[in-house]
Amino acid sequence: MKIKLSSIMVENQASALAFYTDVLGFKKSKDIPVGEYRWLTVVSPDGYPDVELALEPNANPAAKAFQEAMFKQGIPLAAFEVDEIDAEAKRLKKNGVKFTTDPKQEGPVKFAVFSDTCGNLIQMYQPPRNGS
């Protein structure tokens, strides 16, 4: 059994694709119409090419309620790893991204949290350097 697919719910698949590709730098992988929606996935050019993130519609009222409750409490629903979090945060802010937590060190990890404009808070983290 392999972990090759993760997913996140989004308010609008088209807007999510724009944010996750143009702003975050992921690349579109699958985009297949399925009825009213799309089977839409992205991959990271910096990571393993066959690990996908599905951008799923949150049309289910229960899903939306969960997503909104997490957002209200400031709880991120996904986390992405970066090499240089300060530089990355600066780049994202220049692109209009709004942060709820600026990069800060907590134990071995430095992390930040921002809005993906599709209903989610996203955590970005920089793991400890080798040997530290």
Quick one: DSSP state of residue 118?
Answer: S
User: Contact 40/30 with Cβ under 8 angstroms?
Assistant: yes
**Which of the stretches 75-83, 93-101, 122-130 binds another protein when contact is defined by CB under 8 A?**
93-101
Q: Is 31 in the site for another protein (CB under 8 A)?
A: yes
Q: Is 47 in the site for another protein (CB under 8 A)?
A: no
DSSP structure string for 14-29 = HHHHHIIIIIT--EEE
User: Using CA atoms, how far apart are residues 65 and 73, in angstroms rounded to an integer?
Assistant: 12
Q: Is 70 in the site for another protein (CB under 8 A)?
A: no
CB of 105 to another protein, least distance (A): 16
User: Contact 88/95 with Cβ under 8 angstroms?
Assistant: no
Residue numbers of the site for another protein (CB under 8 A)? 5, 7, 9, 11-12, 15, 19, 28-32, 34-39, 43, 49-50, 54, 56-57, 59-61, 63, 68, 71-72, 74, 96, 98-102, 115, 117-119
